[in-house]
Amino acid sequence: MAQLPSTLFITGADRGLGLALVEEFLRHGVDVFAGIHSSSAEIRGLTNVDYSRLTLIDLDVSAPDSIRSAAAAVDRHTHALDVLVNNAGVHLEDERVPLEELDFDDGHLERSMAVNAFGPLRVVQAFLPLLEEGTTRRIVNITSEAGSIVACRRDREFAYSMSKSAANMATSLLNNYLVPRGFGVMAVHPGWIRSEMGGPEADLSPAEAAAEVAGIILGPLPENGAIYIDHRGNNLPW
């Protein structure tokens, strides 16, 4: 295991994988700053965790002002952040809609890109000063195998898949830019999760996925230099 981080910020922490990651890291004794967009009800209902280590931060990753406010809020608590997990994401369109039925006026493509692709980049920019003062300097973008161009098997889900490909490119660019400054940057596919986005037939519970993703975050960087990996550490094709 790599050095245990002292502080971690996670976006999209109010449900699904994000909520499970909050619980997982609190149990590791990490001070967690949880970016929430809709409701804090579920996060306040966690049991057997140290709430003194949890700070809730209002955050909309598609709104620059909200991101800047979130960074300022975290800075009031700590001047150093060890890990940033960009977990917030949306899957807006009906995956069964073929090309002929796509509605380009419903805003799904623009909203998906704003949250899934540009959101993580905005968050990294705003939190970079805090991360540069951190010890582990780890940035993890939760993406998807849907963003792989080489392994593409879908014939629809345009907005979601295209936005995840863009998020993967952002990860690669950030890796090139920040690794010389002592950072580790990764894009992690968390698996198919039983959540609002993944549906009830998915393979993994949020807790199971969170345990595996946390293992990736807490572990050493892959020796082969891979930065696009799945929840078990397997290299994924771009």
Report how far residue 25's alpha carbon sits from residue 7's, in angstroms, rounded to the nearest whole number.
10
Q: What is the 3-state secondary structure (H, E, C) of 165-223?
A: HHHHHHHHHHHHHHHHHCCEEEEEECCCECCCCCCCCCCECHHHHHHHHHHHHHCCCCC
- CB-based contacts of 198: which residues, under 8 Å, 6+ apart? 16, 192
CA 101 to chain centre: 30
Q: What are the two backbone dihedrals, phi and then psi, of residue 107, each rounded to the nearest 5 degrees?
A: 85, 0
Among candidate residues 213, 210, 235, the one with its CA nearest the CA of residue 222: 235
- Count of CB atoms situated within 10 Å of the CB of 187: 28
Residue 232 burial (10 A CB sphere; 0-12, 13-18, 19+): exposed
Please confirm, yes or no, whether 160 is among the known catalytic residues. yes
Please list the active-site residues. 160, 164
